Amino acid sequence: MFMIDLGAESFYTVLGVSPTATAAEIRQARDTLVRELRERQRREPTRRAELEARQKTVNTAGEELARPAKRAQYDRDNAHLRFFTVRDAAAGIFADRADRVEVLYEAISAHLRARGVAVRPRSDLDREEFFADMTPNSVLDGPIG
């Protein structure tokens, strides 16, 4: 039976970062790994060839992912990496800071308004009443003055 394979190694797993990592996180992960591998090559001369090969792999992964165009192509060729990642199923209020702030601000304001408290809208997006934006018009409203 055909089943997807979640375990395949990717440039992201080589660097130990998530497919959604920022460029800065990727560069940092690459630099840290390369530094560690160089250190180990010095400490473990018998494994030098193996560690050099690993370092080469890390460098390749870093090179590919640090450049936006190459990374976009890589992500496209490996669509599963982004998709096959466990997702947060929680509602925005629990999962996302920006969503939470927005939802709770609205909920609290609505709660107070429902109890007769006038909470000033933050912007036109929160307003319902725009009477002040209407312009007197003599054709519509009759002679002005």
Partner 1 sequence: MSMVRARDALLDALAALRDQEPTPQVRLAIAEAEFRLAVDPDVDRDEAIARLRAAIVQDPFLPKLNLHLGRLLHKAGKHRAALAEYRQALRMAPGSRRLHLLLALALLELGKEERDIGQSLLTALNSGEPDKLPAAVAAFDELVRRQGTDGKPDAKPAREAKTRAANRSAPDVWQVSLVEQLARAKPQRGQITAHLKAGETRARDGSAVAEFAVACVMLLVAGDSPRDVRKLGPTGIDHPAVALLEAALELAEAETPEDFVKLAVARLDSEALPVELVCWLHYSRYGPGSGLPPVDMVRLLDAYPDLDCVRELRLSVLDGLARAAWADERLAEAQLLWRECAALDAHRVPTAVNLALLAARTKSVDDYGPAWARLTELMYLHAAGTGELALLLDDRRTLHLALSQQSRSRHCAPSSSPYPSDAELAAWVADVETVEVWLREWDLYYLNERLSFRAPTHLLGVRPNATAEELDAAREAFVKSVDSTLRGQDWSGVAVFRDLVVKRVNEAHAAVSDPVEQARDVYHDLEKPRAARLADEALRRGLLLRNMIRELADKKSGRHLALGAEMARRQLTLPWTVLTPICVERGLISEDDDLVEIFERDLISLAVHWDEPEASTRAEWDQRAAALAECVALVPGRLEFAVLWCRTLVAAERPDEGYAAAIAALEQQAADADEEARSLRPVLVGVVDEIAQTAVPEHLRSPSTPDAARRTIAAARSALERYPRSGALRRGMADVLLQLGGEAHAQEAIELLSDAIDLALDDEDRVKSETKLAATRGAAAEAAVRAKIEKLTEPATARVNEAIDELRRDYGPKALAAARLALRAAITAVAEAMAMAERAQFADDVARLGRQLEQLRTAESELPQDEE
Q: Quick check: 129 binds partner 1 (CB under 8 A)?
A: yes
Q: Quick check: 23 binds partner 1 (CB under 8 A)?
A: no
Q: Quick check: 68 binds partner 1 (CB under 8 A)?
A: no
Please tell me the distance from the alpha carbon of residue 45 to that of residue 20, in angstroms, as a whole number.
35
Query: Residue 55 is which amino acid?
Result: Q
Q: Which helix (H) or strand (E) holds 11?
A: helix 11-15
Map the footprint of partner 1 across residues 41-60, applying CB under 8 A: none
Q: Quick check: 103 binds partner 1 (CB under 8 A)?
A: yes
C-beta separation of 114 from 48 below 8 A = no
Nearer to partner 1, 55 or 78 (CB): 78
Q: Quick check: 67 binds partner 1 (CB under 8 A)?
A: no
Q: Quick check: 63 binds partner 1 (CB under 8 A)?
A: no
- How many residues of this chain interact with partner 1, rule: CB under 8 A? 65
Q: Quick check: 141 binds partner 1 (CB under 8 A)?
A: yes
Q: Where are the alpha helices (DSSP H) in 16-136?
A: 23-43, 48-66, 68-77, 79-83, 92-95, 97-114
Please tell me the distance from the alpha carbon of residue 90 to that of residue 142, in angstroms, as a whole number.
56
Question: Which residues would be at the binding site for partner 1 (CB under 8 A)?
Answer: 1-6, 76-80, 82-91, 93-95, 97-98, 100-105, 107-112, 115-120, 122-125, 128-131, 133-145
